[in-house]
Amino acid sequence: MSAISEKSSFESLRSAHSAFSEPDRLTPAVSGPMVWKANELYDSPTALIEALTPEEVDEIRSAIIFFKLRNIGRDQINQETFPLSSPHLTRKLRGLSGQVHNGRGIAILRGLDTARLNDEESVIAFVGVSSYVAPLRATDSYANQTLSHVRDATHDEVPQWANDLGLAGSKITSSMDFHSDRYSGDILALHVRDDGGVGNGGEQYCASSWKIYNHLLEHDSAVLETLAKPNWPFELKSPDNPEPYLEEGPVLFFAQGKPIFQLVKAPLVGSPRIPRHASMPALTSEQTHALHVFEELARRFSAKIDRQKGDIQFINNLSIMHARSAYGKPGSNERSTRHLLRMFLRDPANAWAKPASYPRFDAPFEEGREQNLPIVDLDPWRKISGMESHG
């Protein structure tokens, strides 16, 4: 039987290390619109997709021009430097945050493709629009990146110094299992610059981890106990040392009655281009079993995301798992045109409480960090090599 508590934990596990071998008590089953499966995600499409009107697209273009005329750095994009005068549009964008935190966990803004923005304008628009949904931008500690480019870098010429560096999952065309990006931010934001074309793969899928949680709580709570134990062996790297280091912790946390999942496989089992270092311990049989069960349930309950060019997607990175299929033209050696812009965000007005014993939830939002918002991805090796947190 699971150690189910009538009163949910506010602190989750008590250490970021493996000093405690037992998980915290599991919170009771959760309810609400965040608990969904398959076709239930789109049972009310208007609650998931917000379409921009032509007038609103023009307003965003005007905000882009306003910002460019100020001749300041992109790290200074905010609601003041990217002004939207229409109260209706600002309410629409604020509503997306409510949907991400209190609704299905996914919100999509559609119609920006009609603005026909160039690369620089797309970055400015993505960052500026996102500042109304969630004003805080995360910057990772490994690469000091705030905005990254999800694209096919497998055809890039590899400089000699990068011969021994692999490409992370965001730079290759392989499929990716269901995951959430560990300690990266509350909201995963993606701007679809190019979806790669019909029939070229790269489809996106999402699954409610709360639906999975409730199912396991009823049918196989031992898997949840395993996920919540603080002994998962994450392989990480620091910018100052080429050798990886071990960080142990859970992949399932609890705070104020909410289960929070931070399950990413690359730092646990390696990736197609970055194998796990020989010095790292292997997963236990219980952990391997838990990963398998979780992946199978995510596939079972998942929904394919309705994606169009120009979309800006906002996905709850604490409760929604995401995955993708392999992409590129079958049998072709051509570079795929699929290209997404990615940021991680936080909205202080709606942000969920985090387990206080794990300050790394807040680390990406530390004040004073340099924000790197590149228009073009010129260095896919140095900035993303290493098992830091992403899928």
What is the C-alpha to C-alpha distance for residues 46 and 51, in angstroms, rounded to an integer? 9
Q: How do residues 252-298 score in pLDDT, each as one tens digit?
A: 999 999 999 999 999 999 877 778 999 999 999 999 999 999 999 99
What sign has the CA pseudo-torsion 245, 249, 252, 253?
negative
- Determine contact, residues 309/192, Cβ cutoff 8 Å: yes
Label residue 384 by pLDDT band (50, 70, 90): low
Q: Determine the CATH number of domain 38-365.
A: 3.60.130.10
Res 380 pLDDT > 50: yes
- Determine contact, residues 84/63, Cβ cutoff 8 Å: yes
For the chain, give every domain's residue range: 38-365
Label residue 371 by pLDDT band (50, 70, 90): very high
Q: Among candidates 42, 41, 35, 43, which has minimal Cα distance to 211?
A: 35
Between 322 and 158, residue with greater pLDDT? 322
Other Cβ atoms closer than 10 A to 306: 14
Alpha helix segments (H runs only) across the chain? 54-70, 87-102, 119-133, 209-219, 221-228, 266-269, 285-301
Label residue 124 by pLDDT band (50, 70, 90): very high
Other Cβ atoms closer than 10 A to 341: 26
Q: How do residues 42-77 score in pLDDT, each as one tens digit?
A: 887 567 999 999 999 999 999 999 999 999 999 999
End-to-end CA distance of the chain: 32
